[in-house]
Amino acid sequence: METPEGIAPEIRVPIDPRGHERMRHLQQDRGRAAESDEQLAIETARDGVSRKEPDVRHTRSVSLIRSFGFAFDGVSYLLRTQRNARIELAIGVVVMVVAAWVRVTPAEWAVLALTVAIVLALEALNTALELVVTLASPERHPLAKAAKDVSAAMVLIAAVGSVLVGIAIFRPYFR
């Protein structure tokens, strides 16, 4: 597609993963980005329940329970399929047992619990990103590899940081 010199060709990018053909116009228009003019469609809830019905509270609680179910399904998937997550969880349990044994302070408990939670949460995020990248790019691609490597790097950084936190907290108890 040829365009007059100095004018960028129109680029359209799909923004709805469900297959709708909403497109974003990225070309400058009247001195401002066309992106700022875009209106996002707001879809109503698809559960078929009117928010004006008297039992809406019940519907929300069921939805909340289902949300927890999905979260527990995610934890189950993570622990079933990811060896590193199981190792990190085991190390976290050992750290908590040792913390109880040496009677760390409440502030140290908080730091240890948060550190273990961060490592496990980043492992879950790493797994999710790897799954999405694999889904989006099933064939080998340098950018897919880089995305997976960076995702794994964030877990490594957190794990190294957690070791440093553990040393800082437990060192005085084992002198």
What pLDDT is attached to residue 31?
43
**Is it true that domain 83-174 has CATH number 1.20.140.10?**
no
What pLDDT is attached to residue 18?
43
What pLDDT is attached to residue 52?
59
Is residue 111 classed as helix, strand or coil in its secondary structure?
helix
Angle at 117 between CA 113 and CA 120, to 5 degrees: 145
Which residue numbers in the chain have pLDDT < 70? Answer: 1-62
Residue type, 49: V
What pLDDT is attached to residue 57?
53
What pLDDT is attached to residue 153?
98
Q: Report how far residue 14's alpha carbon sits from residue 29's, in angstroms, rounded to the nearest whole number.
A: 19
Q: Is-above-0.85 flag for pTM?
A: no
What pLDDT is attached to residue 63?
87
What pLDDT is attached to residue 64?
87
Is residue 110 classed as helix, strand or coil in its secondary structure?
helix
Active site residues: 123
Could you count the other beta carbons within 10 Å of the beta carbon of residue 155? 22
Give CA separation, 99 vs 38, 75, 94, 117, 169, in Å.
53, 24, 8, 15, 9
